[in-house]
Structure 1
Amino acid sequence: MNERLTVAADTIRTLAVDLPVNATFHIWLKATGHNSLGSVSFANARGKFAEVSIANAEEYGLRIYQVFGGGHVELSFDTATTAVSVIYWFTAADVLETGITVVHTNRGNAPPELPGGYHFRPPFGWMNDPNGFGRFDGRPHLFYQHYSHGLRWNTMHWGHAVSSDYLRWRHLPIFLFPSEDLTARPDKRGGAFSGTTIPLVDGPGIRVFFTEQVADRQPEQQIQLTATSSDLITAGQAEVVLASRPTGAGLTPDFRDPYVFRGPDGLWKMLLGSQSDEGGVILLYETEDRTAATGWTYVGKLLVEERYRTTAIECPCLLPLDGPATSRSTRWVLVYGLMNSKDEETGRQNLTMADVGWFDGRSFSKEFGQELDFGTDNYAFQAFLDGDRAVGIGWLANWADAHPDIDFPTAMTLPRAMHLSDGMLLTPPIGAAESLRSRILDRTRLAAGETVTFDNGAVEILFDLDEAGATFELELDHPGAAIAVFRDQRGLGIRYERDDGPASPLYVARGANPRRVRVFLDYGSIEVFADRGRWVGTKRIDGFEPIRAARFSAGAQSVVQATVWALKL
């Protein structure tokens, strides 16, 4: 395909595209004034043949147009009357194989250009929580919280991508839209919030569950909806499955993030996050409807979290770890985020917890618990059972840094496996992460205490210590912050101090004594995996300046060997 931008006049913009037959365009546009129409026209060698228009001057509206004949087509709009946020096209017959082709974004929602960058990012706009993570029709699908028209949180949609290996993604059309009333104005009143996805039981396709929020709705701001998709491209009409919170449970209006899964008794179960006077709450529902479409009834509070003064539990998920779901001996892992929580000892906020125990379909018996990530920038983590292995992914940020009033382009974490070993939960990067290694940068100098410089911001560092728990400090050269990975008397940690910012929290896994440490660097992030994922720390780095070099400023004598790779998708 061939796209080019030409300028025919001072205010006329023309986008030239060569199309296959039956190409579908999604165009988001708005009028620049309240007394005019915004419009985008289509033309070919025979002249203008179509136009889409809109009167709304407050928010971008979606227009869909199909070009049946293909060939060379030019799209034009007058910037004096029309603002265009996004234009992309696709062919429905093969979009799962080819993805969308983005023709236009504006300066306010364009993605960053990051040579070699390997973390998942949206093709435009804002992104937060992963949603509906799962394998459908043989391939992993990732849905996510999305706003197309800027880098700030606003009316929530679901973006969508598909992969073959969890690392290399094809962007697909926007999957789930909020109600028409919510999309009329960029007023942050709500939209299609987080949820989950399951296969349809009566044929090909998926069923999605999500929270609809309308901030000024009474008596319930948040309710649960479901919709289906037979083609894995667009969702059908949504229907309400839970119109209100359970009565008599003492809950705040927080009632969100449905996670649906098969229980050990074969019934569909649903987890929801909320808050009560006792603390953060995970609610459990179930249904005997084999399609999961109707009949959801409240079972009770699966968990009450009294630590860290959370204002609500978010994004709960529950799945078996070391055996079939139907076995009484199988351990399950319950993962949940603690919104606005704070660890007073370290200053870290918005912690994510992972409790391991037994689930009988109606109650959860905890054996032990641990933090999912000592860096805390692995938030809204969602996992599913892919065959006999658990795989999860998180938002590489958290609400301690992000808020609706700042531009905040973010990414997803590296996908992670989840399994038990010697009574502990391990969350290493998936095995396919090794396929990111494009070439070796160093095998001797870093271990000898020398500085190793990087070509760009995409790097993996793997090193072994001569004994478990040996002290070290791996200093990472960044132009805007003092960054290091260290092991000292407190444990394993990430040091992150911005040159122009306040003191950062203490990102440390207390008592961690690793032997092998694996560090992934990318533009805007650092991920640390120690002893096959026994201790994991994820930290977002402000901006996109790359880490330029690394050296052991302390403890090099304890490093047995170290290898540095340049990474590339």
Structure 2
Amino acid sequence: MSRRTRTGVWLALVATVLALLPGLPAAAGTPGDYPEFPYPATGYTEPQRGQFHFSPRAGWMNDINAPLWHNGQYHLFFQHNPHGLTWDTMHWGHATSPDLVHWTQKPIALEPGVHPGDLWSGGGVVDTADTAGLKTGADAPIVVFTGTNGVSLAYSNDGGRTFQNYDGGRQVLALPANSRDPKVFWHAPTGRWVMVVWTDNGGNAALIYTSPNLRDWTWRSRYAADWLLECPDLFALPLDGTGPTRWVLTDASGEYVVGGFDGATFTADSPTPQRMDQGANSYFGTFYAGLTFQNMPDGRVVQMAWQPGNTGKGWTGNATVPVQLGLRSYPEGVRLTRFPVAELATLRTSSQSWADRTVTADPATDPLVGLTADTYELVAEFDTAASTASRFGFDLHRRADGSYDRRVAYDRAAQTLYGAPLAPAGGRVKMRILVDRGQLEIFGNDGKLSYTDNVAFDSSPGSQGLRLFAEGGGVRVVSLQLHRIGSTWGQGESTLEGNLAGPWTTAGGTWTDVTGGKRGEAIGDGFYLSGSTAGDVAYEADVRLETAAAAGITVRASADGSAHYTANVDAAGLVKLWRPGRDIAVYPTPVSRGRTYHLKLVASGSSLKVYLDHGATPVIDATDTAYATGRLGVNVFAGAAVAQNAQRDAAGFRTNLGQRWNPVAGEWTVPTGGLRGRRMDNGFRLSERTAGDLTLTGDVRVLAGRAAGLTFRASTDGAAHYTVNVDTDGLVKLWRPGRDIATWPTTIVPGRTYRLRVAATGPRIQVFFAGGATPVIDVADGTYATGRVGVNVFDSVAEFQDVTIG
């Protein structure tokens, strides 16, 4: 969008925001810290923070990007600067929701320094048929498009947790300046993908391309229109719900035309655009850059848009509520309708209703007199034909002195609602008004009118009054409903990964989201407990002591944490299994703060076994009969610690090396994909298994960055070793400190799993790739004869699985 320096108005806005909101400097990340979650804790209770409108935890937000549905979750991506309150160094922010209304912000999806090019606005799809050939696991890939003056592709095979660059970030479509904002969708009648991208080269226009595979694009047509500025969207809707399919082409300002589309060319019924929302439709207004969801499971066309101008102490910008779009015939022509999705009704915490009333200037006739509300919706229908009032409507956030924060009025003579045209339908006018702490959305006559606004509502107790008013006569109220709406925040986990069911609840201590997982801090014991319960279970997680004396994993816990079994690592130098009132067993071992430990507790009846760092033999094997079942969670004691990857009955990291694994530089955890390492420079995780002659096999996957591989004949500190890795520069490499022994060129695709096998006999080292029977490297090097076995990352985030020796 035109937040670029060529737009003088945008520069003025940025200058204004900078003056009002001193932000932090923007920054780009590295593969070693991807995905980033750079946000301070928030309870989402700040003044003007929407309680049912999505806003970023912190930082700047603008355009909606790539909204889609994937595997039971709605995904919302958005233009984002997480490091300041103004537009700068664009990232793709990310949030997920199970129902379109409860959103949980996730770590950064696309990040400068990790993903190349300008990460500006774009769209995304779910490639269910794997037409691009990018699928590496059981799930369909999420494929997103971004860039300026050309389009780059990134894709995720883990549900949007991480994104890999296709072909190193090379543009799959080169375009002249100025071109940007690709929107992609599947066109079933022609069996092709369609891309609509904006350009002002030769005048404002939407360029249309098609592709069979999301990678190779062919130009088809150009739709030119002076009004068409940025962020195009093109989607189909049935006319009047069941009629013939018509296509709608929109731009960032919410202007649109209706017409036909044959999979290659869009033809408008009329060149004159209409506006879908009557708010200030610009990038310094109240409504901009709306985009429709892809891959919807129920066929609805649902849109979210950016609300510029909404600001708080720690964030700038928010999203509108999701609305369902429709296409209806009216006397003046075919028009697009916008109406809140049905899921919004699930947020109602209390409701009151009235019917068949006449309201006049007499306060006694107002059904809302004496009522208060903070965040809410008003749903009303008025019989204008039976009314005499010249104006009627609602005063929102009214005070005892009669003042209010905003008036929403219908003018009978002008036939306007909130100043926008809205003629009665059958002698009736309908209003649906959504009131949040900094946002106001008004819908008239079932979505024929949409008006998005920003209002700094005063939510103090003395400013939450309501009034239904009538001027110059009476208004006949057919029906009126007041629905109070609760906060949608805090329903999901931002950074704590795993497979445990929620909701998670606190039983002591303070628990916040940080880049590495869930951080707990307590004076004594603090527990963070899932909604999952179990008796017999294999449960594991990663824990890292910061200032805490101890931290660990908890099973068979009561809801308040007063009963439980906990296995923890203790800074005093031990692993301990305990329950309230009894230390069941301890295992002495060095424990360091700042180092991540992997704990696994297997409970079967009275048997309780604790495993440490992937060792095959339990470090604690005890019995206790105090508790038979209860919740699963994590624990911190006397300080702060971080927990991550809480999983029950999971595959974890599969290896037959049989002894503990220890980190030597880097951060090492165990998500669902196996063992994950991250490090700028070299990082190792080495088992205590040593070998000289060996056959070492493992699956290696680079998620972001440079290289990862298998390590053997290593010293305890990793200063001496052989490592064979896959390098995204395009090679398999065998190396030791100070020397690249041999390389074999081949394409290495980030996100794809590669099987490596090393056969070492004396000085002879053979490397086998991707299950091949013939070595791709076969050399001699006698520098190291024996040592530890493990894995390595270099300038990357990578995962390892099925590391075996034989």
Indicate if the aligned counterparts of 2:310 and 2:317 stay in contact, CA closer than 8 A: no
- Please tell me whether residue 140 in structure 1 is matched to residue 107 in structure 2: no
**CA displacement 1:425-472 (0-9 Å, x = unmatched):** 322111111112211256379953365466453111111111479763
Q: CA, structure 1 residues 137+553, in 2 after alignment: closer, same or farther (shift >3 Å)? A: same
- Of 214, 220, 223, the residue aligned with 1:299 is 220
- Of 146, 158, 169, the residue aligned with 1:211 is 146
Amino acid at match of 1:473: F
Per the TM alignment, residue 261 of structure 1 is displaced from its structure 2 partner at its CA by 0.9
Q: CA, structure 1 residues 365+453, in 2 after alignment: closer, same or farther (shift >3 Å)? A: farther
**CA displacement 1:233-274 (0-9 Å, x = unmatched):** 11112523355425xxxxxx3311100012231111100112
Per the TM alignment, residue 412 of structure 1 is displaced from its structure 2 partner at its CA by 0.9
Q: Give the equivalent residue in structure 1 for 2:326.
A: 419
Q: Give the equivalent residue in structure 2 for 1:363.
A: 265
- Please tell me whether residue 474 in structure 1 is matched to residue 393 in structure 2: yes
Per the TM alignment, residue 171 of structure 1 is displaced from its structure 2 partner at its CA by 1.9
Q: CA, structure 1 residues 387+334, in 2 after alignment: closer, same or farther (shift >3 Å)? A: farther
- Of 160, 170, 178, the residue aligned with 1:254 is 178
Amino acid at match of 2:219: Y
Per the TM alignment, residue 231 of structure 1 is displaced from its structure 2 partner at its CA by 0.3
Q: Give the equivalent residue in structure 2 for 1:436.
A: 347
Q: Give the equivalent residue in structure 2 for 1:234.
A: 162
Give the SS at the match of 2:374: coil
Cα distance in structure 2, aligned partners of 1:335 and 1:227:
25
- Of 131, 136, 146, the residue aligned with 2:65 is 131
Q: CA, structure 1 residues 451+387, in 2 after alignment: closer, same or farther (shift >3 Å)? A: closer
Cα distance in structure 1, aligned partners of 2:338 and 2:163:
32
- Please tell me whether residue 508 in structure 1 is matched to residue 508 in structure 2: no
- Please tell me whether residue 353 in structure 1 is matched to residue 255 in structure 2: yes
TM-score (norm 1): 0.64
- Please tell me whether residue 557 in structure 1 is matched to residue 475 in structure 2: yes
Give the SS at the match of 2:339: coil
Give the SS at the match of 1:146: strand
Cα distance in structure 2, aligned partners of 1:328 and 1:360:
17
**CA displacement 1:59-88 (0-9 Å, x = unmatched):** 47568679xxxxxxxxxxxxxxxxxxx966
Per the TM alignment, residue 305 of structure 1 is displaced from its structure 2 partner at its CA by 2.1
Amino acid at match of 2:265: S
Indicate if the aligned counterparts of 1:111 and 1:122 stay in contact, CA closer than 8 A: no
TM-score (norm 2): 0.47
- Of 486, 489, 512, the residue aligned with 2:410 is 486
Indicate if the aligned counterparts of 1:209 and 1:224 stay in contact, CA closer than 8 A: no
Of 527-536 and 548-557, the range deviating more from structure 2: 548-557
Q: CA, structure 1 residues 455+558, in 2 after alignment: closer, same or farther (shift >3 Å)? A: closer
Cα distance in structure 2, aligned partners of 1:105 and 1:284:
43
Q: Give the equivalent residue in structure 2 for 1:535.
A: 449
Indicate if the aligned counterparts of 2:396 and 2:404 stay in contact, CA closer than 8 A: no
- Of 285, 309, 313, the residue aligned with 2:209 is 285
Q: Give the equivalent residue in structure 2 for 1:16.
A: none
Of 531-540 and 484-493, the range deviating more from structure 2: 484-493
Matches of residues 33-112 of structure 1 in structure 2 within 5 Å? 59=27, 61=29, 104=40, 112=46
Give the SS at the match of 1:433: helix
Tell me how large the CA RMSD over aligned residues is.
3.7
- Please tell me whether residue 265 in structure 1 is matched to residue 265 in structure 2: no
Cα distance in structure 1, aligned partners of 2:265 and 2:118:
31
Indicate if the aligned counterparts of 2:384 and 2:424 stay in contact, CA closer than 8 A: no
Per the TM alignment, residue 491 of structure 1 is displaced from its structure 2 partner at its CA by 3.5
> Which consecutive unaligned segments of at least 5 residues does structure 1 have?
1-55, 67-85, 89-101, 183-189, 214-221, 247-252, 338-350, 495-506
Cα distance in structure 2, aligned partners of 1:402 and 1:526:
11
Q: CA, structure 1 residues 481+408, in 2 after alignment: closer, same or farther (shift >3 Å)? A: farther
**CA displacement 1:117-148 (0-9 Å, x = unmatched):** 11111222111111111111232111111111
Q: Give the equivalent residue in structure 2 for 1:526.
A: 440
**CA displacement 1:404-437 (0-9 Å, x = unmatched):** xx98622211111122334443221111111122
Structure of higher CA gyration radius: 2
Indicate if the aligned counterparts of 2:49 and 2:55 stay in contact, CA closer than 8 A: no
Identity %: 26
> Which consecutive unaligned segments of at least 5 residues does structure 2 have?
1-23, 360-364, 398-402, 489-806
Indicate if the aligned counterparts of 1:130 and 1:381 stay in contact, CA closer than 8 A: yes
Cα distance in structure 1, aligned partners of 2:65 and 2:26:
28
Indicate if the aligned counterparts of 1:207 and 1:228 stay in contact, CA closer than 8 A: yes
- Of 220, 232, 235, the residue aligned with 1:316 is 232
Amino acid at match of 1:459: Y
Give the SS at the match of 2:344: helix
Cα distance in structure 2, aligned partners of 1:176 and 1:408:
19
Cα distance in structure 1, aligned partners of 2:102 and 2:479:
30
Cα distance in structure 2, aligned partners of 1:271 and 1:553:
48
Give the SS at the match of 1:145: strand
Q: Give the equivalent residue in structure 1 for 2:246.
A: 331
Cα distance in structure 2, aligned partners of 1:360 and 1:112:
48
Per the TM alignment, residue 384 of structure 1 is displaced from its structure 2 partner at its CA by 3.2
Cα distance in structure 2, aligned partners of 1:442 and 1:164:
29
Cα distance in structure 2, aligned partners of 1:488 and 1:135:
42
Give the SS at the match of 1:373: coil
Cα distance in structure 1, aligned partners of 2:405 and 2:235:
38
Q: CA, structure 1 residues 286+111, in 2 after alignment: closer, same or farther (shift >3 Å)? A: farther
Q: CA, structure 1 residues 480+558, in 2 after alignment: closer, same or farther (shift >3 Å)? A: closer
Of 365-374 and 472-481, the range deviating more from structure 2: 472-481
Give the SS at the match of 2:251: strand
Q: Give the equivalent residue in structure 2 for 1:40.
A: none
Amino acid at match of 1:224: V
Q: Give the equivalent residue in structure 2 for 1:372.
A: 276
Amino acid at match of 1:121: S
Matched pairs, number: 418
Give the SS at the match of 1:314: coil
Per the TM alignment, residue 179 of structure 1 is displaced from its structure 2 partner at its CA by 3.5
Q: Give the equivalent residue in structure 2 for 1:19.
A: none
Q: Give the equivalent residue in structure 2 for 1:465.
A: 382
Q: Give the equivalent residue in structure 2 for 1:223.
A: 150
Cα distance in structure 2, aligned partners of 1:553 and 1:256:
49
Cα distance in structure 1, aligned partners of 2:115 and 2:321:
36
Give the SS at the match of 1:432: helix
Indicate if the aligned counterparts of 1:438 and 1:566 stay in contact, CA closer than 8 A: yes
Give the SS at the match of 1:121: coil
Cα distance in structure 1, aligned partners of 2:200 and 2:372:
47
Q: Give the equivalent residue in structure 1 for 2:684.
A: none
Q: Give the equivalent residue in structure 1 for 2:301.
A: 391
Give the SS at the match of 1:315: coil
Q: CA, structure 1 residues 556+416, in 2 after alignment: closer, same or farther (shift >3 Å)? A: farther
Amino acid at match of 1:230: N
Indicate if the aligned counterparts of 1:129 and 1:194 stay in contact, CA closer than 8 A: yes
**CA displacement 1:175-211 (0-9 Å, x = unmatched):** 11124699xxxxxxx8411111111332424343333
Amino acid at match of 1:465: F
